[in-house]
Each structure stands twice: as structure tokens, then as C-alpha cells.
Amino acid sequence: MRLGISKSKNTINYYIIKDYTKNGKRSTKHVERIGNLEEVKKLAGNQDYQEWLKDYVKKYNEEHCKKEIITIKKNNKKIIDSNINNKFNVGYLFLEKIYNQLKLKDICDNIQNKYQFKFDLNEILSYLVFARIIYPASKLETYKQCQNFIEQPKFQLHDEYRALSYLADNIDFIQEKIFENSKSIIERNSGIIYYDCTNYFFEIELDDEFRKYGINKQHQPKPQVGMGLFMDGDGIPLSFNIYPGNQNEQKTLIPEETKIVNNFKMDNTKMILCTDAGLASDEIKKFNVKDNRGFVITQSLKKLKESEKEKVFDDNDWRLPGDLRNVYNLNEIRNNEELKEKYYDKLFYKIISSETKSVKQDLIVTFSFKYFDYNRNIRNSQIERAKKSIDTNQAARKGKNQNDYRRFIVDTKSTDTGEVAENSNLSLDEDLIKQEEQYDGYYALTTNLVGDIEQILKITKGRWEIEESFRIMKTDFLARPVNLSREDRIKSHFLTCFMALLIYRILEKKLDYKYTTLEILKAIRNMNVLESKGDGYIPEYIRTNLTDDLHDTFGFRTDYEINTYKDFKKIFELIKR
């Protein structure tokens, strides 16, 4: 605090003022009005008024600064300034710490030096990533929302769009460097890699060279692009690729797997690929057995040969993981309530020798009575919905997937004499119900691995993580629908989505997976502070165990009753180390 002087035409006014710095700019705030010249001379009495002012400021500092108590004065008769935002998000600071640990500034500086453009690529990329997590929206809305971060962006909207082109040209380089840098902050379990594909639609009617009509997993009749995502054994994203919407996803795996093995310098002799049945081609399996690599790929039971199905549904020769001495008969357990209760939560398995044109493999089939009941209950509820739809004559279309209850409805057109005609008769497809029931409780995979069956089953259980990652990008980060038209900008959009997912997954890991996605996102999105001009920032969020864990994990706090500008300056410096 220091003495401030304001001169007017008729007198001089004296104040106690405070200097502060916000976003690199110095400013001052009037803390207390002492009085005008005449008033100060009266207060000073026989003492020289200038000496009295020095003593007054000194006593004020001793009383207020030593106690570190900040008094905030507000006027209930003064209207707030217009068009001034005083509410800012600080939850993104935890994301920024991870962003900087990944050395993304160095990566962006490398690209900037290569092309010699003037705008700050690192600033733009960082805000695109943080906003995708905190304020997911279009690029235009993202630019607006970035003004709500406590660190104000300096770039312009046109710079944001220009940056997307440079990012698209360096997607492989960025992913390679991120993987390399990530190994210094978390352990990467790249001995197991998961791969899966999804698609993203566009709100347009006409396709182009990149956005194509294709088989859409959400059954959206829109042009789309496909995304392939690699994930390591701990559920942390490895890399991604974007391809035209009409391309067969099987064609993407081998080129992309080759790329990450070479670019990421992974030990491919110890690598195990796990993916789903849609990517279970003979070519992919052949590629993943060379150099002693392995594969664990889910298998559709419905697509097995009849001879293999007979072995699957044979109730004999079932085993339990870890029990090599005993074999079990499922029918005996099924018909004995005491045994069924005893083994209800157990997972039985059998191994059936199998081979493709090029690969020797084992077909591992599992069965669970608990999973059997789960499948049966799901179907029964779907059948009930189908019955209600038949009773109300509301089955407008045939079901297109295995979760659509309308698949059980048959629409038969006939006359009263049985000839084919226009009369519509809706009924349950009993044959389809019986056909599906035989697969209840069963699950299958193919693998070239031998040895610990528990380890093999553990690998395939990890596939849910990649499905969860797609859900987070689509639902929580609003990666779709995509409101961009140029191919380079579309690819950069998904690059920022991928980076947001990677940083979020690292955040989960640093928090020891103690909290759900909903809990974490809600917490950091609601971590707002209110600025008291000249004083600092007052937390506007609820302090919880989660916010405590965030602060303890990252080594700084934003939850004091008031955080001064100096406090946040220290936080910014800590984050950028």
C-alpha cells in the first residue's frame, strides 16, 4: 500500500492505494480515501501534514498487511460497470499443468519455426483443448468462451482458423512427440494396444471427397468420417486417425498399427493387439502374429462354423480359471439350484482349437450364469416393448440393430384367404427369439496366445475403456456433429478432441481413478472465481474431497477465501514449469 494523490482544480485529495498486476498489466485501486488537503491538515494538528500522511500509511500497512486480511468494500448504491466480466474459470489450470508437462509448447514452437507464421500456435492449441473439456462448442463459440478463463487469450478468431491448417499438416508429428513426452509423466503400458473405430456425422445433405455416406453406427443418414483410436493397456489414448466415411474400417488398422510401431519406437515383439469382431479379418490376424506378436480379438458366435458351434454349446468340458484339475458340466449346474447359486458369479471357459487360412489360433469361449440372466432380462424387456407396440399398432419400421426391440416384430401382409396382399398383421418373431436365446451367457474370443487364461480374459475385459473414450468424446466433449467443411480443419478438430481425451485420461490416472467422469468434469467446469477488482479472486465453488485432491495432486490452491493477484501469478509460474 502507498500514498496516492489526486489533484483537482480546487484542492488535493489523498488516498491509500494498492498496486496490482493482472494479465501482465499494472493497475491501481483506491483502498481508502484519507481526505482532501484541508481535512488532512486538521487531522495532522500540530504535526507537519506530510509527515502525518507518511505515518498514517505506515500504520495502515502494519495493521492490514501483516495480518494478510483483505477488506472488500462495496457500495449498494453504485451500479456495476457494463460489459465487464468478473467471473472466471480456474478448473482448466489442472489441465494446463498436464498440457505443459507434455511439452506441447516445444512441439508448437517447432511447427511455428518451420512455417514462420506470426500468431502463437501454442496459445491457440492450448485454449482449443481446454475449451473442448470445459466449454465444448463450435470453434466460434469456443473463441468466445475462452474469455471466461482467468488467463485471457490474445489471439484473434481468424488466427484460430489459420492454426487448424498447420495442425492438420503435422498430426503425425504431434502424436509422436506427445507419446514420447507422456512417458516422463505417467507409465505407458504399450505392451497391450486396443483399437476400435467409430464415425461422426455432419449436418449436410451432399457428400464430398472426404465426408461420405457410409454405414453409420448411430444410424444417422448423413455424410460422415470415420475415426480409428488406439489405446494402451491402461486406457490412455495412444493415437488416432481420420478416414473417409465410406472406407472399410478393417483397412485402417494395419497401416496405423505399422505407423505407431515405427514412429513411437515400440517393442513390437511384445505387443498384443486387442480389438472387436468387426476387425477380425484373416489379414489382420496374420499381420499380428509376425515377430512373435499376439492378438486377442472378440469373435461373433453367430458367425462360427456349425462344427464349432456344436463344441461351444456342448455342456461338457468346461473349466474355471485357475482350476486345472476339475471339469464341469453346465447342464448339471443349471438343473441344480444349490450348484447354480454356488457358481452364479463364476466365469467358465473352454478352449477350442481353430485356425484361419493363415493363422493357428484358439477359440476361447466363456459362459456365466450371471451374464445369462442379464442377457435374458434385457431381451425380455425388449419383448415386452415389442408386444405393446403390436397392441397399439405402432411398429413403424423394422429394427436395425441388436438392441432395437422392433427386430422382434414380424409384419405379414395377407388376405383373408392367406394370399399376399395389403392387410398388415403384426406378431412376435418367435423363431428369432429362440435363435437369440441360445447365445445367452456366452462370449467368445480368438487368440494366438497360450498360457495364463486369466490374463487373456483380463486383456479382453479392458476393451470397455475404448468404448468409454468414444462416449466421452461424443457426449461429454461434444465432438459431434462437426460444424466444419474443409478436410484439414476437420482433422484438426479431431486432433484437439484426441488431445483433450488424452489430457483428461491422464488427469483421471493422477487422481487414482477415485472419481467418475461426471464428477470430475462437473468439478472443473464449476471451479469459478469472482474478481474483486484490485483485491484478487474469491472462490465461487464448493470445496469438496475432489477439489482437495486436485489441489494436493498438482501442488497449488485456488480455494483460499480470497486469492490475490500475486497468488495467481505464482500459480501461473508453477504451471508453466
Tens of pLDDT along 79-125? Answer: 888 888 899 999 999 999 999 999 999 999 999 999 999 999 999 99
Report if residue 402 sits inside a domain.
yes
Distance, CA of 15 to CA of 35 (rounded, Å): 7
Is the pLDDT confidence value at 159 over 70? yes
Cα angle 11-17-19, degrees, rounded to a multiple of 5: 135
The domain boundary residue, chosen from 392, 421, 437: 437
Report the C-alpha gap between 501 and 180 in whole angstroms: 17
- What is d(CA 317, CA 351) in angstroms, rounded to the nearest whole number? 9
Percentage of the chain exceeding pLDDT 90: 62
Tell me the CA distances in angstroms from 325 to 317, 320, 321, 359, 363, one per residue in order: 11, 9, 11, 29, 21
At residue 414 the predicted structure's pLDDT band, cuts being 50, 70 and 90, is low
- Between 21-30, 160-169, 507-516, the lowest mean confidence (pLDDT) is in 21-30
Examine residue 141 and state whether it is found in any structural domain, yes or no. no
Residue 37 in this model has a pLDDT that exceeds 90: no
Task: Evaluate whether 206 touches 194 at the Cβ level (below 8 Å).
Answer: no
Question: Where residue 563 falls among pLDDT bands split at 50, 70, 90?
Answer: very high
Q: How confident is the model at residue 573 (pLDDT cuts 50, 70, 90)?
A: very high
Please say if the pLDDT value at position 179 is more than 60. Answer: yes
Residue 136: its pLDDT value, please?
93
Mean pLDDT along residues 124-148: 93
The predicted model gives 512-527 an average pLDDT of 96
DSSP label at 563? B
296-313 pLDDT, tens per residue? 999 999 999 999 999 999
When mean pLDDT is compared across 169-178, 269-278, 312-321, 522-531, the lowest value belongs to 269-278
Say if 7 falls within a structural domain.
yes
Q: What pairing do the DSSP bridges indicate for beta strands 424-428 and 12-22?
A: unpaired
Residue after which a domain boundary falls, among 45, 64, 83: 64
- Domain of residue 32 covers 2-64
Cell numbers found for residue 154: 490474445
- 416: pLDDT confidence band, cut at 50, 70 and 90? low
Average pLDDT value for residue range 467-481: 92
Once rounded to an integer, what is the mean pLDDT over residues 118-145? Answer: 93
484 with 110: CB under 8 angstroms? no
Reported as a pLDDT band with limits 50, 70 and 90, residue 417 is low
pLDDT of residue 462: 87
Handedness of CA 395, 400, 405, 410 (dihedral sign): positive
Mean pLDDT in residue range 536-540: 95
C-alpha cell at 229: 483410436
Q: Per-residue pLDDT tens for 324-344? A: 899 999 999 999 999 999 999
Question: What are the grid coordinates assigned to 474, written together?
Answer: 461424443
Q: With bands split at pLDDT 50, 70 and 90, how would you rate the model's confidence at 66?
A: low
In a domain, 355, yes or no: no
Q: How confident is the model at residue 69 (pLDDT cuts 50, 70, 90)?
A: low
Q: How far apart are CA 552 and CA 559, in angstroms?
A: 12
* β-pair partners for 194: 231, 274
* Mean pLDDT computed over 407-415: 78
Residue 291: is its pLDDT beyond 80? no
Is pLDDT above 70 for 423? Answer: no
User: Can you tell me the mean pLDDT for 13-30?
Assistant: 76
**What pLDDT is recorded for position 6?**
85
Q: Which triple of cell numbers denotes residue 536?
A: 484478487
The mean pLDDT value of the chain amounts to: 90
**CA dihedral sign, ordered 32, 37, 41, 44:** positive
For residue 297, the surrounding DSSP H or E stretch is strand 294-298
Query: pLDDT class for 192, splitting at 50, 70, 90?
Result: very high
Question: Is there a domain that residue 160 lies in?
Answer: no
Number of domains composing the chain: 2
**Alpha carbon of 79 to those of 31, 59, 316, 559: distances in Å?**
19, 32, 82, 28
User: Which pLDDT belongs to residue 418?
Assistant: 55
pLDDT at 67 over 60: no
User: Is residue 130 over pLDDT 60?
Assistant: yes
Residue 208 has what DSSP assignment? Answer: -
Q: Could you tell me the end-to-end alpha-carbon distance of the chain, in angstroms, rounded to an integer?
A: 30
Give the ranges where 10-48 is alpha helix by DSSP (H): 37-44
Residue (of 574, 516, 576, 508) closest to 126 by Cα position: 576
What's the whole-number mean pLDDT along residues 154-160? 92
Reported as a single tens digit per residue, the pLDDT across 345-400 is 999 999 998 888 888 899 999 999 999 999 999 999 999 999 998 888 776 666 66
User: What b/e sequence results for 3-35 when a residue is b if at least 16 CB atoms lie within 10 Å of its CB, and e otherwise?
Assistant: bbeeeeeeeebbbbbbebebeeeeeeeebbebb
Mean pLDDT, rounded, for 280-307: 90
Percentage of the chain beyond pLDDT 70 is: 94
Mean pLDDT of 520-542: 94
pLDDT of residue 148: 94
**Is residue 69 in some structural domain?**
no
CA separation for the pair 403, 412 (Å, rounded) = 22
Torsion angle, alpha carbons of 183, 185, 191, 192, to 10: -120
pLDDT confidence of residue 23: 64
Residue 172: half-sphere exposure toward Cβ, Cα within 13 Å: 11
> In the predicted model, is pLDDT for residue 295 greater than 90?
yes
- Alpha-carbon distances, residue 276 vs 64, 75, 458, 520 (angstroms): 66, 64, 15, 29
Given a cut of 60, whether residue 216 has pLDDT beyond it is yes
pLDDT at position 73 is 75
Q: Is 346 a domain residue? A: no
Q: Is 233 helix (H, G, I), strand (E, B) or coil?
A: coil
Structural domain includes residue 399: yes
pLDDT tops 80 at residue 39: yes
Higher pLDDT, 10 or 64: 10
**Residue where a domain stops, chosen among 64, 94, 110:** 64
Q: What does the buried/exposed string (b/e) look like for 531-545 if buried means 16 or more CB atoms within 10 Å of the residue's CB?
A: bbebbbbbbebeeee
In the three-class reduction of DSSP (H, G, I as helix; E, B as strand; rest coil), residue 481 is classed as: coil
**Helix 121-134 crosses helix 487-510 at what angle (to 10 degrees)?**
70
Residue 49 has pLDDT above 60, yes or no: yes
Q: Is residue 361 within a helix (H) or strand (E), and if so which, with residue range?
A: strand 360-367
State the pTM of this model.
0.83
The single residue listed with the C-alpha cell 487373456 is 456
